[in-house]
Amino acid sequence: MAISPSSTPADRWTSALSNHHVARAAWKAVEGREPCSAREQVAIIVEDAENALYAAPAPDLAAVSLKLKTRWAKELFDDDYESSSKRRIIGDLRRIELKAAGVSEFESSGRSPEDAADLADEWRSALSDYDM
């Protein structure tokens, strides 16, 4: 069930996020159906929930990242420079949030130390082929 709006920024975000989740779940229920009035009404509800999410104050960088993922959802997976740039922006937000939480950049890269060392060795080997 959706949460009623509140006046504090944290409560407004929680309410908007909850309403967004409910709206997305409703959309999944009607997404594959033929166009009808129920589907159109759910589409309007999803749009309203997304607009409320954008308007709610983001409590942290993860929330900003979620807003961008929601806004750019269809564009994030295209194979072009603009989509790649958008994915990098979201990645930067995630990296900054992890760094603020005390996670080292190395740890936040998602690679184990062994994987990172192996990758570095592969790069050194590949680059040595081009040294003259």
From first to last of its 132 residues, the chain has per-residue pLDDT tens of 455 555 678 889 999 999 999 999 999 999 888 888 989 999 999 999 999 999 999 998 889 999 999 999 888 888 899 999 999 999 889 888 888 888 877 777 666 677 777 878 888 888 877 765
Q: Is residue 69 part of a domain?
A: no
CB-count exposure of residue 98 (10 Å: 0-12, 13-18, 19+): middle
Q: Containing domain of residue 25, as a range?
A: 1-58
Across the chain, the runs of DSSP E, i.e. the strands, are none
Q: Is residue 132 part of a domain?
A: no
Q: Is residue 52 part of a domain?
A: yes
Q: Is residue 75 part of a domain?
A: no
Q: Is residue 47 part of a domain?
A: yes
Number of domains in the chain: 1
DSSP 3: P
Q: Is residue 88 part of a domain?
A: no
The amino acid that residue 9 corresponds to is: P
Q: Is residue 38 part of a domain?
A: yes
Q: Is residue 120 part of a domain?
A: no
